[in-house]
Chains A and B, each alone.
Chain A
Amino acid sequence: MSTPAPTSDRLIIAGKDYGSRLLVGTGKYKDMDETARAIEASGAEIVTIAVRRTNIGQNSDEPNILDVLPPDRYTILPNTAGCYDVDTAVRTCRLARELLDGHNLVKLEVLGDEKTLFPDVMATLKAAEILVKDGFEVMVYTNDDPIVARELEAIGCVAVMPLAAPIGSGLGIRNPLNILTIVENAKVPILVDAGVGTASDAAEAMELGCDGVLMNTAIAAAKNPILMASAMRKAIEAGREAFLAGRMPAKRFASASSPIEGLFF
């Protein structure tokens, strides 16, 4: 009997394949050392970074994030976090591409509101269109709206990343049926991005059929980020295998596991 070969189950994004389906952010860690150790423990191959002003004349000895996460080892995914309009998101992507020597994979997020950090979907659609035309490979953060997800795919985004819950909230998947609908409709990878709080949330996303999960705070804000990174790696793998295995149908009442036949009393 042949056993399933998980090694052949690869995540393919923009023509490149990955063994890990966990993508991680690099914010909110205590220091660069903790960042590097948590990311190592997560097994992630794609890591997202932000783009900000250089600290001119100050802390010039401070290590740069790209020193601890070398681009020849990790696929660096620059994000547009903090952008609230089309123009700044597009500018940020162009700067990031220059920063990374022409690497054109980006995580687009255009936010609509500081309190919720929900995406501004109208601006996101516009920015995605501009970036795709400009040669970017766009992984796009969006709401858990199947219609918007379908539009973003039609525009040419290489992955669509609906939120599970607000960024940094740790509330878990608030609308699993929408995520399921998005997954069922899609021909590009669907990754849950934002809102995961603990390992079971990540497993749930994978059991729903998501191609991966992107998270940051769930690991960085854990009491022990390194241990949580390891837990998330396992949860992603367990959830993926459960999805591929196909779960049993849920039933309301019991169904004995031992045979009735041959009872001797």
Chain B
Amino acid sequence: MKIILNGAPREIADGMRVSELVEYLELLGQRFAIEVNAELVPRSRFAEHRLAVGDRVEIIQAVGGG
């Protein structure tokens, strides 16, 4: 199924959970935070949050800035 990941279309397995997406993107061990459709998904809910077709997923990190 297609989702929008950080602004770009991306094909992922149907019904993928956020925890599985994190694993699939090899983000384990990094500091990041995720929102789906402009709503924060806390880490504690990664395993239960199932993604749906067309979901807009944002994965963010800290960068240098003023």
Contacts and interface: CB of A to CB of B under 8 A. Distances in A.
A interface bracket (residues with beta carbon within 8 Å of B): 35 or more
B66 A26 contact: yes
Contacts of A29: 64
Interface string A194-222: 10000000000000000000011100100
A52 B33 contact: no
Contact of B62 (A49, A87, A168): A49
Interface in B1-46: 5-7, 25-27, 30-33, 35, 38, 40, 42-43
Contacts, number: 98
B64 A96 contact: no
A49 B64 contact: yes
Given A56-B5, A56-B6, A66-B31, A99 B42 contact: no
Task: State which size class the interface on B falls in.
Answer: 20 to 34
Given A91-B38, A98-B43, A64 B62 contact: yes
B66 A48 contact: yes
A81 B35 contact: no
Nearest to B38: A91
A87 B39 CA distance: 11
Interface in A52-102: 52-54, 56-57, 60, 64-66, 76, 78-79, 81, 87, 91, 94-96, 98-99
Contact of A79 (B7, B30, B65): B65
Interface of A: 25-29, 35, 48-54, 56-57, 60, 64-66, 76, 78-79, 81, 87, 91, 94-96, 98-99, 167-168, 194, 215-217, 220
Given A54-B60, A98-B43, A216-B66, 6 more contacts: A50-B65, A51-B60, A54-B32, A56-B25, A96-B62, A99-B62
